[in-house]
Amino acid sequence: MEEKRPIVHGVDVDARTRCVHYYSEKDVIAIKFHCCGQYYACYFCHQQLAGHPSKKWPKAQWNERAILCGNCWNEMAIATYLDTVRCPNCDHLFNEGCSNHYHLYFEWKGEN
C-alpha cells in the first residue's frame, strides 16, 4: 500500500516543495504550521494563503514531526531539523540560510 504524501500549500509549489519565494536546489523543506497543522512551503506562502496569523512552535513541542523534506518526503521532528544541515533520510543538503528565519516558525532564544 502506498503511503499518502502530505499536502504542501503555497504559491506555485513544485514537486519538491519549493515555492515562488524560495526555489533554489536546497530549498526543499516544508513546515507544518503550529496554528493550523497544515504544511506550507514557507512563511510568506502561509501569510498569503492561510487566512489567519501564524503561531510559533513552542520549544516544549519540538519533538513533533513538523518538517518535511521535499526531496524524499520524510517527515522529521523539529529538533532533528534544527540539529542538522542535511536530511537524515536522503542526505540532501538544506539551505543554510533557513536558519535566519527560525524565529518566524519556532520560539527562539528566550522567547516564550
pTM higher than 0.85, yes or no?
A: yes
> Would you state the pLDDT for residue 109?
75
Nearest to 45 by CA among 5, 108, 105: 105
> Would you state the pLDDT for residue 7?
97
> Would you state the pLDDT for residue 83?
96
Q: What is the mean pLDDT of each run of 10 residues along the chain (112 residues)?
A: 85 98 96 98 98 97 98 98 97 95 89 62
Distances (CA, A) of 51 to 6, 9, 22, 61: 20, 12, 21, 24
> Would you state the pLDDT for residue 1?
56
Nearest to 54 by CA among 42, 70, 69, 63: 42
**Strand pairing of 39-40 and 75-77?**
unpaired
The Cα 95–Cα 93 span in angstroms is 7
The Cα 36–Cα 82 span in angstroms is 21
Domain parsing of the chain, residue ranges: 8-105
> Would you state the pLDDT for residue 28?
97
> Would you state the pLDDT for residue 97?
94
